[in-house]
Amino acid sequence: MLTFDDFDAWGEAVRGADLRLACDGVETPQWRLAFRNVGSVVLQLGYEGGGNLCFGGNNHQGTLLWMPLGEPGHQVANCERCDHGSVLVIPPGADFCIQVRKRAHAWCSIALPGTISAGDRGAASHVLHADPLNVRRLTSLITRAVSAPEVDLASPSVAEGLSQRLLAAVSACLAQDVEPGTSLGRPKIERMEVVRRIVTALDADPMGGRSIADLATEAGVTTRTLGRVFSDTFGVSPRRYVQLRRLHTVRRALRGGDPHDDTVARVLARHGIWELGRFAGSYRRQFGESPSDTLYRRG
């Protein structure tokens, strides 16, 4: 189990997906991550010390299944509130969104081999509503397998036996799709396309030089529709999402800076930030430390 005191460092360690992450408030300043290969499947277990606004894409060769752990209702996947029977099914190459507001939480995932058909490449991700008992069996198997280093997976027979148990538990979850839960807002396909266009625009301009009106035009919607989409998907306004992305971009630059050659002012200037006092106040409220603390601590 890897332990981090920095959200961005934790995010860089997460495997199996191309992620854009933004921390939405810290409850406990600690993030943990563990992963394990079991035969043909890859398991991952994450504990986050705060909220997270996540847009990602599955870059694994097979389908990825993601499941929330702990108290239901606080995690929202693809704009749908998750309960004990929720499984986010992410085919290879598919995009997905996960929202948790200002709260520590945990999750687990299992990456299936490409030979197992649980979603065709290019298909959309979706929340499947399985029997909670079957989901509990699967998440318990994943948690125990990742958290129990005494299990000798170097033995081919042990690894194969555990892999078969995991795949059987996966099959039980995928076999039944019960009544769906409450979906938030507009149709998911349209909403995901809007989010994808905005994230692509922000990737090209990480410091947020475009106005919200410009972003809405680029996504092909009105500013009002853009606001509804971001409220449904991430629980925040487009402006707040852009601000969080900008703060994390600067934080990564400060973490990678050399305090002997760099200053906070130089780093911020390279990112087009000139109102140092106002930005430093927003930075401290978000991360609990000043920009200089980040630069010198990482250095």
By mean pLDDT, which of 2-11, 119-128, 168-177, 283-292 is the weakest? 119-128
Q: Which of these CATH numbers, 1.10.760.10, 3.40.50.10490, 1.10.10.60, 3.40.50.880, describes 188-298?
A: 1.10.10.60
Asked if the model's pLDDT at residue 203 lies above 80, the reply is yes
Amino acid at 239: R
Task: Name, in order, each residue with C-beta under 8 angstroms of 174's C-beta and a sequence gap of 6 or more.
Answer: 87, 89, 118, 128, 130
pLDDT of residue 190: 81
Separation of alpha carbons 120 and 122, rounded Å: 6
What is the end-to-end Cα distance of the chain in Å, rounded?
Answer: 25
Average pLDDT, rounded, for the chain: 87
Q: What single DSSP character describes residue 184?
A: P
pLDDT of residue 95: 94
The string over 141-169, giving b where at least 16 C-beta atoms fall within 10 Å of a residue's C-beta and e elsewhere, is bbbebbeeeebebeeeeebeebbeebbeb
Here the tokens at position 112 are 């299936």
Q: Residue ranges of the domains in the chain?
A: 2-174, 188-298
Here the tokens at position 59 are 């870059």
pLDDT in tens, 62-88: 999 999 998 877 899 999 999 999 999
pTM for the whole structure: 0.85
pLDDT in tens, 212-222: 998 998 888 99
pLDDT of residue 82: 94
pLDDT in tens, 17-35: 999 999 988 899 999 999 9
pLDDT band of residue 185 (cuts 50, 70, 90) is: low
Name the CATH superfamily for 2-174.
Jelly Rolls (2.60.120.10)
Q: What single DSSP character describes residue 259?
A: T
pLDDT of residue 180: 45
Asked if the model's pLDDT at residue 107 lies above 90, the reply is yes
